[in-house]
A and B are shown apart, each in its own frame.
Chain A
Amino acid sequence: EPEVTQTPSHQVTQMGQEVILRCVPISNHLYFYWYRQILGQKVEFLVSFYNNEISEKSEIFDDQFSVERPDGSNFTLKIRSTKLEDSAMYFCASSVPSDRMNTGELFFGEGSRLTVL
C-alpha cells in the first residue's frame, strides 16, 4: 500500500542552523501538509500546500519556515535558523487522491524528530 515517507527520522542540530526535512507524499495526492508536535503536546497544523503554492498556514508558520516541492515527488520543510523551541516531531501528510473520491483522510508519515541544541 502506498505510504508517506519522511527523512530523516531524527536530526540533531545546533541552534541557528538551517534544517531541511524531506517528505515523499503519496504519488497521486494533491494536498500536502506539515504538522508539528512538541513533546507531550498536541499535534499542531503548520501549513497546507496545493497546486504548487501554500493553501493555508498557521501562526506558527512564520518567516523562518518555508515549504517547497522541488520536483514531482518531494515536499520539503525548511527552517532557516533553528531555535530551541523548534525541537519537535514534524509530521508530513498528504490527501485528496486525484483519481478517486476524496474521503477526507490525511495519510501521515512516521515523523521526523528534530532536536535543537
Chain B
Amino acid sequence: AQKVTQAQTEISVVEKEDVTLDCVYETRDTTYYLFWYKQPPSGELVFLIRRNSFDEQNEISGRYSWNFQKSTSSFNFTITASQVVDSAVYFCALINNAGNMLTFGGGTRLMVKP
C-alpha cells in the first residue's frame, strides 16, 4: 500500500514571503515517482514536477524548488517570493513503477495575500 501525507491543510502568507509545503510518503516499492500538482480555483490539475526515486538531486525552476529526501521519505516544495497567483491547492502524489495507481495527498491550500 502507498500513502501520501500533507500535514498542512492550509497555509496563509503575505506576498513575497517564502513558503514550504511539506509532503511525506510511504511505499514498499523501490522504484516510484513523486509529483506535485497545482489546482487553481478553476479546478484543473496542473503538473509541476516529477521526480523518480533514484534521483535525489534537488531541483529549482524559477521561484519553485523541490527537496527530495529519500532517508526521510519527504518531497517538500518551496515557493520563493510568493505571489498572489500562487494561491491554489497543491497536491503531492506518488505512483509506483507499474504505473497503475497515482496516490494523492490531501492537498495544501495556499493563500497568498497582497
Q: Which residues of A contact B (CB under 8 A)?
A: 31, 33, 35, 41-45, 48, 50, 55-56, 89, 91, 93, 95-96, 102-108, 110-111, 113
- For B33, the chain A residues whose CB sits under 8 A away are 103-105
Q: Which residue of B lies closest to A96 (CB)?
A: B99
Across chains A and B, the number of contacting residue pairs, with CB separation under 8 Å, is 60
Give the residue of B44, B50, B102 whose beta carbon is less than 8 angstroms from that of A103: B50
| Sample of 11 A–B contacts (CB below 8 Å) | A31-B100, A42-B91, A42-B105, A44-B104, A89-B43, A95-B99, A104-B99, A105-B35, A106-B102, A108-B37, A111-B45
Query: Majority SS of interface residues in chain B?
Result: strand
With A42-B106, A43-B104 as known contacts, state yes or no: A106 contacts B95, CB within 8 Å: yes
Q: Which residues of B contact A (CB under 8 A)?
A: 32-33, 35, 37, 43-45, 47, 50, 52, 91, 93, 95, 97, 99-107
Indicate if the CB atoms of A56 and B100 lie closer than 8 Å.
yes
- For B47, the chain A residues whose CB sits under 8 A away are 105, 107-108
Query: When A and B form their complex, which 3 residue pairs have the shortest distance between CB atoms, in order from nearest?
Result: A104-B33, A43-B104, A108-B45
Q: Which residue of B lies closest to A49 (CB)?
A: B100
With A and B bound together, what is the CA distance between A31 and B97 in angstroms? 13
Indicate if the CB atoms of A42 and B100 lie closer than 8 Å.
no
Indicate if the CB atoms of B101 and A45 lie closer than 8 Å.
yes
With A and B bound together, what is the CA distance between A66 and B47 in angstroms? 27
